[in-house]
């Protein structure tokens, strides 16, 4: 495929890094030379595209991976991508989140080549569909990378390196510098090395230090017979899904809510479809793992400076409101995903 400069926009977690590494390896590109990689959260995708729009020229390529649309991003993202396609930029989108047929068809109508496959992680979607588009042959390392990443991202844990990669390589609290460092390792065919082992030990030590602090912020509420446990989490380990599992087990919660200072909310559950709840809050995701970003009133932000429980109390009430009238239970066989 004849592409000038390739731009890749991907999620901040392990699956996002794996997706970016996979498309660059398939395309034969390296960051900083003939490609650019940017990491973002789903609710910030439209802002990143607005900043990037002016740099995209005819003959360039743009790949978006491991990111879905939500209510706030749908219109601006579709509009921007339609405009750059009309200028002669090739746009591909690879994802595994829950999409509506309308959103997929809306992007296809403006010329986006979009591939959504919920049977695998986003890295797996890239490895499955991109080689045909780019005329690339089989790549044993990418198959192994896909297995390791999907094992962590889908919470199967059936690959020996998945728990390590999940913590050392895929922490959403990691710097973009470290994400690019890991991406370069994957590009060169390295799945694990001594530098990543050292990063793992650093992460685990910080994770243990932070757990007790996070537990002091927990607020537990109920709605419609559903128990909701919310915790405040600042930057740093442990990962949202680890905090979610802890809240569910410790407080016998049906829904775990992890809230950040900027209003970012992560939802986790083993039996309630939190994707539907996240959509009502303006976000999206998967049945067992989803997320959104909500506006935090000034009085809550001020009160949370005195006690983080003011924030977790407010968020619990918002989630409880979303639960009412739209509660759906999911089977035990449903896979969990990191969002």
Q: Are residues 175 and 230 in the same domain?
A: no
Query: CB–CB of 245/157 below 8 Å?
Result: no
127-133 average pLDDT score: 96
Residues 162 and 268 both lie in one domain: no
The whole domain housing 33 covers 6-192
Which pLDDT belongs to residue 123?
98
Residue 173, pLDDT score: 66
* Residue 111 near residue 85 (C-beta atoms within 8 A): yes
Verify that 216 and 178 share a domain, yes or no.
Answer: no
**Residue 329 included in any domain:** no
On whether residue 30 sits in a domain, the answer given is: yes
Per-residue pLDDT at 64 exceeds 60: yes
Q: What is the CATH number of the domain that holds 314?
A: 3.10.310.30
Query: Does residue 336 lie in a domain region?
Result: no
- E-strand ranges in the chain read 6-10, 35-39, 61-65, 90-95, 113-116, 219-223, 226-232, 255-259, 264-268, 284-285, 289-293
Give the pairing type, strands 289-293 and 90-95: unpaired
Q: Are 135 and 107 in contact (CB under 8 A)?
A: no
Mean pLDDT over the full length of the chain: 92
Number of domain units in the chain: 2
Query: What whole-number percentage of the chain has pLDDT above 90?
Result: 74
Same domain, 93 and 239: no
Predicted TM-score of the model (pTM) = 0.79
Residue scoring higher pLDDT (305 or 189): 189
The answer to whether position 125 is within a domain reads: yes
Can you tell me the distance from the alpha carbon of 225 to that of 25, in angstroms, rounded to the nearest whole number? Answer: 49
pLDDT band at 71 (very low <50, low <70, confident <90, very high): confident
Domain boundary (192, 226, 247) is at 192
Do 182 and 81 fall into the same domain?
yes
Q: How far apart are CA 283 and CA 294, in angstroms?
A: 9
Residues 219 and 136: their CA atoms lie apart, in Å, by: 51
Average pLDDT estimate for 197-218 = 92
- Give a yes or no: residue 203 inside a domain: no
Quick check: is 1 in a domain?
no
pLDDT over 70 percentage in the chain: 96
Q: Residue 164: what pLDDT?
A: 93
Is residue 205 in a domain?
no
pLDDT value for 169: 86
40 and 155 co-located in one domain: yes
């Amino acid at each position: 495929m004849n592409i000038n400069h390739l731009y890749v926009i991907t999620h901040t977690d392990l699956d996002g890094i794996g997706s970016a590494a996979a498309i660059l390896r398939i395309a034969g590109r390296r960051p900083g030379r003939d490609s650019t990689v940017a990491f973002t959260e789903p609710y910030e995708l439209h802002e990143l595209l607005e900043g990037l729009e002016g740099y995209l020229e005819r003959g360039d390529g743009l790949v978006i991976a491991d990111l879905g649309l939500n209510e706030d991003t749908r219109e601006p993202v579709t509009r921007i991508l339609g405009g750059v396609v009309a200028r002669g930029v090739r746009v591909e989108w690879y994802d595994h989140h829950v999409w509506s047929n309308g959103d997929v068809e809306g992007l296809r109508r403006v010329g986006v080549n979009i591939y959504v496959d919920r049977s695998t992680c986003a890295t797996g979607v890239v490895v499955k569909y991109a080689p045909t588009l780019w005329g690339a042959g089989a790549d044993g390392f990418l198959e192994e990378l896909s297995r390791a990443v999907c094992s962590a991202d889908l919470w199967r844990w059936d690959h020996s390196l998945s728990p390590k990669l999940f913590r050392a390589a895929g922490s959403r609290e990691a710097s973009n510098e470290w994400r690019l460092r890991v991406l370069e390792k994957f590009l060169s065919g390295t799945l694990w090395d001594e530098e990543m082992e050292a990063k793992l030990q650093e992460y685990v030590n910080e994770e243990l230090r932070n757990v007790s602090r996070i537990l002091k912020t927990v607020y537990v509420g109920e709605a419609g017979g559903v128990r909701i446990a919310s915790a405040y989490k600042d930057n740093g380990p442990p990962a949202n899904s680890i905090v979610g599992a802890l809240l569910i087990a410790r407080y016998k919660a049906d829904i775990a809510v992890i809230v950040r200072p900027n209003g970012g909310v992560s939802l986790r559950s083993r039996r309630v479809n939190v994707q539907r709840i996240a959509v009502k809050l303006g976000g999206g995701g998967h049945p067992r793992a989803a997320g959104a970003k909500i506006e935090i009133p000034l009085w809550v932000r001020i009160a949370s400076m005195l006690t983080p429980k003011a924030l977790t109390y407010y968020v619990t009430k918002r989630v409880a409101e979303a639960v009412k009238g739209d509660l759906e239970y999911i089977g035990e066989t449903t896979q969990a995903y990191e969002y």
